[in-house]
Every structure is written in C-alpha cells, then in structure tokens.
Structure 1
Amino acid sequence: MRRAYAMLGLGAVVLAAAGSLTLMPRSSEASATEATFLVPAADGYGVAECLVSGHTCGKAVADTWCEAQGYVRAVSFRQADPEDVTGSVEKVAAAPTPLPISITCVN
C-alpha cells in the first residue's frame, strides 16, 4: 500500500513539474529578437520589384525571406538608404548598381 502511495506521489510531482515548464511564459527578450538583412536588388528572382514597388506580393515575399532565415515574420521592408550600406569594398564595375532591399525580421 505504501508503494502505491509513493508511486502516486512521484507521478503527481513529475506531472506538476512538466506542466509548470509548458505553461511558463516566454521571456520578452527571446520574443523580441530582431535582425535586419540586406538583399541585393538585382538578385534575379524579382524580390526588389515586389518589395519596393508596393505590390501586394511585398509582405508575402518579406515574410517568406524571414522564415527562410529562421525568423517568424517581417516587421518592415524597404529600399536601403545609402548610409545603410558600408561601401567598404571598392566598385569594380562602372555601371551603378541599385541599392539593396532592407528586410527587418522578428521572432
């Protein structure tokens, strides 16, 4: 009889411990993780056309990009400002290249 009560008590403790771990709220720091990516405008896939032109496909493309990078969704997307790009590598080609697209993702 004692063994049955001991097993019942142990089972209750394990169940309560498992339940408390699954019901814990997420920390605000983990849920607010944010990253910004610079996507080349001339990538060949037409990403820039959707994101910059204001077409309805822009939000879907940005969300898909974030999901591919391991994030949940896109918070914002726009054409990058010139000061967003460092320009640390000298340009070899004489033709000007379009500014990249900035996509900010969040978990």
Structure 2
Amino acid sequence: MRSALALIFSASILAASSAFAETRVFIIANQVDGYGSGQCLAKGETCGTSLARTYCQSRDFAKASSYRRVDPDEITGSVPKTGANCSHGRCDEYVAITCQR
C-alpha cells in the first residue's frame, strides 16, 4: 500500500513539474553569413544545435528543443511577400527555434 501511494505521489510531482516548464518558439530571419551556420539551422542539421542552444540561453532559456526552416506562408501577416525582402537574388529565410526553461 505504501509503495503504491509513493508511486502515485512521485507521478503527480513529475506531472506538476512538467506542467510548469515553459516553451517558446522564436521566429528569426536567417541571414546568410558566409560561414554556413544559417544553413545548419534552416536545414535542421546537427551543426545548428549549438547555435540554437546559444540563442535560447541568450534569452534565459535552458535549451533548444528543436529548430527548423519556416516557410513565410506559415507566419501570418508579419513577413513581406517574396521579392520584398530579396536583394541581389538572395532572399532571407526564416527559422523557428523552440526554447524550453
């Protein structure tokens, strides 16, 4: 009986602590920097892990749980249509970084 109560209590503590975890998605312009770091984020490659983590930590989050390229159509009303943000044939890409506390 005690072990069953302890198990239920432990499960409720874990559920309560995960309910307080904050998750936030940041949408940022992914400028081409010539070093390839932007492509790591946009393609979701492992080389973007440290970049995403550093971005989250600079905003007081513990870690980056994911990152990926975002199509401008996914961002409602805040991104200019194709061509408006292009220069010299190169357009900005947008990246979503999901941060957790």
1:29 paired residue number: 19
1:82 paired residue number: 72
TM-score (norm 2): 0.61
Q: CA deviation at 1:86?
A: 1.8
More strand by share: 2
Aligned residues: 83
- Percent of residue pairs identical: 35
C-alpha separation in 2, matches of 1:40 and 1:94:
10
* Structure index of larger Rg: 1
Q: Is the 8 A contact 2:30 2:42 kept in 1?
A: no
* Structure 1: tracts of 5 or more residues without a match: 1-23
Q: Secondary structure at the match of 2:40?
A: helix
* Structure 2: tracts of 5 or more residues without a match: 1-12
More helix by share: 1
Q: CA deviation at 1:47?
A: 4.1
TM-score (norm 1): 0.58
Q: CA deviation at 1:68?
A: 0.5
RMSD between aligned residues: 3.1
